[in-house]
Homo-oligomer: A and B are copies of this chain.
Amino acid sequence: MEKLRIFKIGGKVVENQEYLDFFLENYAKIEDNKILVHGGGNWVSEMSEKLGIEVKKIDGRRITDAETLKVVVMMLAGLANKTVVAKLQAHQCNAIGLTGADGNIILSKKRPFKNGIDYGFVGDVEEVHAEALIQLIDHGFSPVLTALTHDKKGNLLNTNADTIASVLAVAISKFYEVELVFCFDLPGVLEHIEDHKSIIENINSENYSSLKKGKVINDGMIPKIDNAFDALRSGVSKVRICHSNDIIKFAHGTQQFGTLISI
């Protein structure tokens, strides 16, 4: 099977010009098959505040009312996505920016009202049409996806970017050997958050529960790693968590960096 990497960059990379430029310049140099998924949540929060729309989150998840959804579409599908596309094009990477609605790539369902919480226009993924993405890649386009899906009834829905990266990875693993790479502003999962050298090189089903019990892995990281295990159990070959600056190591073929998650 041919290889394909899915890179996910979070808001802290997209919104930091130095990190973003370094990442994109080196991402463009990677000649293997690749897909980029990005967020941009802080831009959404900042713009919401400018427009006088209250920012509401529960456990880090954004409550997306109709007005907030518009801001998400403006900032993610608009400013963040097209900024990334134009920058990649400047580095000779033939980027094409997409949401899950474009080409009907990711279908989702509006999250039902549950336990007294209405998340609003948030989509839980139902179907992934990987063929559309593969066609684009086969024709020399380099897909750049942002964190929006649609319900095929005309509604865009806000969907977590980590989730989008994972479901894409799983769907594409039927056609390619997929490595899923989460790039953020730390060099990996750290044993001591203040010590950037304390990278946990490997997390597997065996050491994961003791790492959780010992509170070595913090709360914010747990859903990311649970997500990674789900992806691995569903056909993804490798999941790595690393710094966005580690992008340079992919072009060089380095193997040991960041945190590698395996089952």
Contacts and interface: CB of A to CB of B under 8 A. Distances in A.
- How many copies of this chain? 2
Interface stretch (A152-160, A164-172, A200-208, A210-218): A152-160
A99 B74 contact: no
14 contacts: A73-B83, A75-B78, A76-B78, A77-B81, A78-B79, A78-B81, A82-B99, A85-B150, A86-B155, A89-B150, A89-B152, A95-B102, A96-B98, A96-B102
Interface in A80-112: 81-83, 85-87, 89-90, 94-99, 101-104
Interface residues of A, number: 40
Among A47, A73, A87, max chain B CB count under 10 A is at A73
A148 interface: yes
A50 interface: yes
A254 interface: no
Contacts of A82: 73, 77, 99, 101-102, 148, 156
B77 A101 contact: no
